[in-house]
Amino acid sequence: MKKTFFVTMFFAVAVAGNITVLKAQPPVAGKPNILFILTDDQTFNTIHALGNKEIVTPNMDKLVKAGTTFTQAHIMGGLIGAICSPSRNMILTSRSLFRLHKAGAYIPASDTTFPELFRTNGYTTFETGKWHQDKASFKRSFSTGGNIFFGGMNPPDAGGQYRPHLHHYDSSGEYNKPFWGDDFSSVYFADAAIDFLKSQQHQQAPFLMYVAFTSPHDPRTAPTWYGHSYRTDEVSLPTNYLPVHPFDNGELDIRDEMLLPVPRTKEAVKREIAKYYAMISEVDYQVGRILDELKQTGRDKNTIIVFAGDNGLSVGQHGLLGKQNPYESAIRVPLVFAGPGIPKDKRVNAYVYLNDIYPTLCELTQVPVPATVEGMSLKAAFDKGSFKGRDQVFFAYSNLQRAVVKDSFKLACYNVKGQHPVQLFDLNKDPWETHNLADEPQYQHKVKSMTSLLSGSMKQLGDFCDLDKTGWGYPVKMTGGEATNVHP
């Protein structure tokens, strides 16, 4: 479904603290464009150029070789099973986890999204694909768009990826005239992005594109006529494969974990991995179409490209399928920057969060950073000096799981039905997290110091849980409604 896009300049936006009004600025010729590409449920080790020799991702490989990859990019987690909602909120607002509203589903006017900020600074802002927040924040953020999907996933019983529920851009913000697509979702999103690029070929204003695919999220039913299909004998079983998770982590019966029966057989896991890889290859194909059009329209030389996944996925690792856990497969994601001033084929092994994207784009484009932004700019990683990144990264899920990573050690703690399992992994020696060191005598000092670090991080970030309290202060598993009301 193709559409001609019209640009509307607009408004004033509130920023936190003492409400500050940002007035819309006129277009500034010469400013770099921004193309932000987001995939859904793509874990960190699913790009061929970054070491996975079984997957076919030629266009993601081109981005890796053309730019700088952050190999330790992390998410902070979420309070609900749909981790992608808080994760995307943190990307858009650069707020930390416990400052999100309604578990991430709502962005108040006081939290300026980065598309909203760039719109007020003279950019034409465009969106296609998944928007997992409220429609009012979408209206503030984008001056145009097409083939817009409001929601979390394409339900299988409604046609799945082959029948996406879409909207044309509606300047009123109502979005009450949806239409059903009759082709694979990624095709619609790439088509809209390509049409927008064509419409911008002779425009002077810089643009910001937010292209949010729903792949490789399930239902994993990738087309066979493009991309790359996989046989089970072409994919390897992960080193940390288990038929059953070794203990109750609090979310063994969530929807994600019900996609395969328990115990997971080796054959079933390999089939799921093959389908997962196929979904990543199909979205890679559509990413290539967008990059080709960017070059064809002559805007590639002055465009900053960011490629990221919103969260990871287990797909058989540790006996799990989903993302509601603190393992590397769930909390580490791809993050690549490419474009003017960004080193080519560079790897940065420093800890960063996805909410660091926002201030980085601001510094690269000399756009002032709002006071509400909590991330740190990664621009120093593109310079010749050293870049240390973050000292540590933190993860939380509901009132069930907490984790912290520092100096390549990870401590994960659980709060499930009165039980409090603890895991300690040396990620340098044990990247697949198969050897729990928490009960070994020589690591008790490390468990103690990491527990203190985790407790301090929870307090600093405003966590509603407290390791020093019985059941962390919330001994019973939270409902979705309770999680939403932690910060309404």
| pLDDT tens digit sequence for 76-124 | 999 999 999 999 999 999 999 999 999 999 999 999 999 999 999 999 9
* Shared domain check, 338 and 281: yes
Predicted confidence (pLDDT) per residue in 432-448, tens digit: 999 999 999 999 999 99
**Alpha carbons 257 and 253: distance in angstroms, whole number:** 6
Structural domains in the chain (count): 2
Residue 200 lies in a domain: yes
Residue 23 lies in a domain: no
Residue 4 lies in a domain: no
Contact 198, 116 (CB under 8 A): no
Name the residue among 244, 246, 241 with its Cα closest to residue 423: 246
* Shared domain check, 127 and 42: yes
Task: Report phi then psi at 448, rounded to 5.
Answer: -65, -45
Handedness of CA 82, 83, 89, 92 (dihedral sign): negative
Tokens of 371: 């006071």
Task: Report phi then psi at 273, rounded to 5.
Answer: -65, -40
Residue 296 lies in a domain: yes
* Shared domain check, 168 and 90: yes
* Shared domain check, 416 and 353: no
Which residues, 6+ apart, have CB-to-CB distance to 423 below 8 Å?
410, 411, 412, 413, 433, 436, 438
**Alpha carbons 333 and 317: distance in angstroms, whole number:** 15
Mark 168-185 as b/e (b = at least 16 C-beta within 10 Å). Answer: bbeeeeebeeeeebeebb
Residue 373 lies in a domain: yes
Last residue of a domain, one of 354, 382, 410: 382
* Shared domain check, 156 and 191: yes
CA 404 to chain centre: 19
Which residues, 6+ apart, have CB-to-CB distance to 29 below 8 Å?
204, 205, 206
Last residue of a domain, one of 348, 382, 416: 382
Radius of gyration for the alpha carbons in the chain, expressed in angstroms and rounded: 22
Domain of 208 in residue numbering reads as 30-382
DSSP 170-186: -TTS-----EE-SS-HH
* Shared domain check, 375 and 237: yes
Contact 39, 283 (CB under 8 A): yes
* Shared domain check, 450 and 360: no
Instruction: Quickly list H helices, 48-83.
Output: 58-66
| Bridge partners, residue 360, by sequence | none
* Shared domain check, 133 and 186: yes
Contact 181, 163 (CB under 8 A): yes
Count CB atoms within 10 A of the CB of residue 298: 10
| Bridge partners, residue 153, by sequence | none
Residue 202 lies in a domain: yes
Which residues, 6+ apart, have CB-to-CB distance to 334 below 8 Å?
39, 42, 44, 46, 47, 50, 60, 69, 73, 307, 308, 309
- Residue 47: CATH number of its domain: 3.40.720.10
DSSP tag of 417 = T
Last residue of a domain, one of 382, 416, 436: 382
* Shared domain check, 304 and 193: yes
Q: How far apart are the first and last CA of the chain?
A: 37
- Residue 397: CATH number of its domain: 3.30.1120.10
* Shared domain check, 143 and 212: yes
Residue 12 lies in a domain: no
Place of tokens 């050897």: 435
* Shared domain check, 178 and 197: yes
pLDDT of residue 29: 63
pLDDT of residue 12: 36
Which residues, 6+ apart, have CB-to-CB distance to 469 below 8 Å?
none
Residue numbers of the chain with a pLDDT score lower than 70? 1-29
pLDDT of residue 3: 36
* Shared domain check, 401 and 304: no
Residue 88 lies in a domain: yes
